[in-house]
């Protein structure tokens, strides 16, 4: 009997955490970044990323969500370019690239790491509803307060609520787990 097998009789610690579930897949999309440049989802291929849906004039949960994303950004800054953050607007009529650039500056978003995206309402709606499964982009400005972890293959691997205990710790733990996966 191996040491790990013997240890499993006493403790399951040799097995490591169970794999994160696969909860969906994000399709290709094309939007506009806060820089005003086109943003192609292909730029996220091979990257682990965290996403959320916000809007710049929100006085409710969006500031907390963006603060949590900033904390994730700080926590993963040592990971090189392998981890990205993406904030999608739910208010594309008002959240132009210029407005999103100002919002990004307010939260100290690192260029090339954290992207704020706007575009056609229908594209944002399809992504939010069908891919992320977080509701509609219908002009009501109602939106989920969950952050979403996506793996290198564009698969949704976790949802983290802003009211959860230590969501940043949980997200970083999930990122580390995904970094160890080879497929």
CATH code for the domain in which residue 150 is found: 3.40.30.10
* pLDDT at res. 6: 41
Average of per-residue pLDDT across 111-127: 93
Average of per-residue pLDDT across 94-108: 96
Give the domain range for residue 37: 20-180
Torsion of CA 129, 112, 169, 177, to 10 degrees: 80
pTM for this entry: 0.85
More confident residue, 167 or 98: 98
Average of per-residue pLDDT across 47-51: 95
Average of per-residue pLDDT across 70-82: 84
Question: Structure tokens of 160?
Answer: 């983290």
- In this structure, is residue 15 part of a structural domain? no
* pLDDT at res. 141: 60
In the predicted structure, residue 79 carries a pLDDT above the cut 90: no
- In this structure, is residue 75 part of a structural domain? yes
- In this structure, is residue 42 part of a structural domain? yes
DSSP for 50-75 reads EEEEE-TT--SSHHHHHHHHHHHHHH
- In this structure, is residue 12 part of a structural domain? no
- In this structure, is residue 66 part of a structural domain? yes
46 in Cβ contact with 152 (< 8 Å): yes
Q: Which of 55, 63, 62, 135 is closest to 95 using CA atoms?
A: 55
How many domains does the structure of the chain reveal? 1
* pLDDT at res. 56: 93
- In this structure, is residue 100 part of a structural domain? yes
- In this structure, is residue 117 part of a structural domain? yes
- In this structure, is residue 98 part of a structural domain? yes
Average of per-residue pLDDT across 89-117: 95
Percent of the chain whose predicted confidence (pLDDT) is above 70? 84
Mean residue pLDDT of the chain comes to 85
Order of strands, sheet of 155-161, starting from the edge strand that comes earlier in the sequence: 24-25, 155-161, 146-150, 48-54, 83-89, 114-118, 30-33, 38-40
67 in Cβ contact with 32 (< 8 Å): no
Question: Structure tokens of 118?
Answer: 């706007």
Q: Which pLDDT band, with edges at 50, 70 and 90, does 14 fall under?
A: low
* pLDDT at res. 140: 56
More confident residue, 138 or 123: 123
In the predicted structure, residue 137 carries a pLDDT above the cut 70: no
* pLDDT at res. 100: 97
Average of per-residue pLDDT across 60-78: 89
Question: Structure tokens of 151?
Answer: 């793996």
In the predicted structure, residue 156 carries a pLDDT above the cut 80: yes
């Amino acid at each position: 009997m191996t040491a790990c097998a013997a240890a499993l009789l006493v403790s399951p610690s040799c097995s490591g955490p169970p794999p994160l579930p696969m909860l969906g897949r994000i399709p290709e999309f094309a939007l506009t970044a806060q820089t005003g440049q086109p943003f192609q989802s292909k730029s996220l291929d091979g990257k682990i990323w965290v996403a959320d849906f916000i809007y710049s004039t929100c006085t409710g949960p969006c500031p907390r969500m963006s603060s949590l994303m900033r904390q994730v950004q700080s926590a993963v800054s040592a990971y090189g370019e392998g981890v990205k953050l993406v904030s999608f607007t739910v208010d594309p009529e008002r959240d132009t690239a210029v407005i999103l650039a100002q919002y990004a500056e307010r939260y100290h978003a690192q260029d090339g790491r954290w992207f704020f995206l706007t575009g056609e309402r229908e594209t944002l709606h399809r992504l939010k509803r069908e891919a992320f499964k977080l509701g509609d982009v219908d002009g009501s400005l109602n939106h989920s307060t969950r952050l979403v972890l996506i793996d290198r293959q564009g698969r949704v691997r976790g949802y983290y609520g802003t009211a959860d205990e230590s969501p940043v710790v949980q997200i970083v733990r999930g990122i580390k787990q995904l970094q160890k996966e080879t497929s």
